[in-house]
Amino acid sequence: MKIDLPDIKRLVKNILPAIATFTGDFIHPALGKTATQSIEQWRLNYLEEIKLNNSKSNIGKFNVFITGLLLRIASGESGARLYDSLEEKIVDYGDINTKNIKNVLRITGYRFPQQGLETVLNFKNLFLEKHKGQWASYLNEAKINYKNNFKEDEVLKIKGVGLKVRDLALSCFLKEYSANDVHVVRVLVRSGLLVYGYGNINIGTNSSKEEDYLFMRKLIINLSDESGFSPGELDRIFWHFGRTICKKTPVCQNCPTKDICLTYKNKN
């Protein structure tokens, strides 16, 4: 049976005008605040947030990055409280101590405070030792190595920090990185874009498993090369689309991609 690959450029073009409502408080500085707007505007917001994050001071960048490292096990969508608390309590590297971090995690209602504390202190020690608190060398190294998964990144040695967590934190500064969660994976699978990854025999869709995440990571990079949109942009485009239209119970009849989507075409 011949399968016609969905055209990634056409699919994204159809998605971008769709209206996406983000109903939480803002989860993270690079994800955006509560709003109802086109997915194209969400994409543009993301690119602006990257510029803003890169213009911050060294300690400001630290707080954004730490929010990314801690977000996966925060209580609900509490990234805003976490980030705001860090900004209030941590104004220079000397403020990163057990007392202040415990207070931040308590205010945030963090689910695993001891693990969170260890993550922050371990990252601080690693970053100050290797990069002297400066971000240029680390971000440049990450940008150069994004296609090979930047597996030599010493941040990955910190307990509880895997590729997905690290990639989320890096995506706040580099559009080459994306953290493909369940919403993104759902769009990739249903639309048929997953087919673009068939050059890799290690097919997997559970982004919580490292081998599956690596497959999805390579797929997004392939789609980026094909479409001209960065991995970070595709991640945000599919994330908002998956939350609003291609959700767990999809709104297929009103979907702007239904004439392209393999799932819709094959069920009708």
**Which segment of 51-60, 90-99, 181-190, 195-204 scores lowest on mean pLDDT?**
195-204
pLDDT score of 77? 53
Q: CA–CA separation, 40 vs 86, rounded Å?
A: 30
Backbone angles phi, psi at 36, to 5 degrees: -120, 115
pLDDT single digits (tens) 180-194? 889 999 999 999 999
Listed in sequence order, the DSSP H helices in 77-157 are 79-89, 98-108, 113-131, 136-144
pLDDT score of 73? 66
Orientation of helix 39-55 relative to helix 231-244, angle to 10°: 130
pLDDT single digits (tens) 10-69? 999 999 999 998 766 555 665 666 788 999 999 999 999 999 999 999 999 999 999 989
Confidence of residue 208 (pLDDT cuts 50, 70, 90): confident
Residues 6+ apart with CB under 8 A from 99: none
Q: Please provide the average confidence, as pLDDT, over all residues in the chain.
A: 90
Tokens at residue 183, please? 């919403």
pLDDT score of 200? 78
pLDDT score of 26? 59
DSSP assignment of 1-30 equals: ---PPP-HHHHHHHHTTSEEEE-SSP-STT
pLDDT single digits (tens) 146-174? 999 999 999 999 988 999 999 999 999 99
pTM of the model: 0.93
Tokens at residue 226, please? 């094909």
pLDDT score of 226? 95
Q: CA–CA separation, 181 vs 206, rounded Å?
A: 9
Q: Which residue segments constitute the domains of the chain, with CATH numbers given? A: 8-18+179-267 (1.10.1670), 50-171 (1.10.340)
Residue 1 has pLDDT above 60, yes or no: no
pLDDT single digits (tens) 220-268? 999 999 999 999 999 999 999 999 999 999 889 889 999 999 998 877 6
Burial class (CB in 10 A: 0-12, 13-18, 19+), 140: exposed
Percent of the chain with pLDDT over 70: 92
pLDDT score of 251? 86
**Which segment of 5-9, 72-76, 99-103, 233-237 scores lowest on mean pLDDT?**
72-76
SS3 label, residue 90 = coil
Backbone angles phi, psi at 138, to 5 degrees: -65, -50
Confidence of residue 111 (pLDDT cuts 50, 70, 90): confident
Tokens at residue 217, please? 């990571």
SS3 label, residue 37 = strand
Q: CA–CA separation, 266 vs 264, rounded Å?
A: 6
Confidence of residue 78 (pLDDT cuts 50, 70, 90): low
Mean pLDDT score, 82-96 = 93
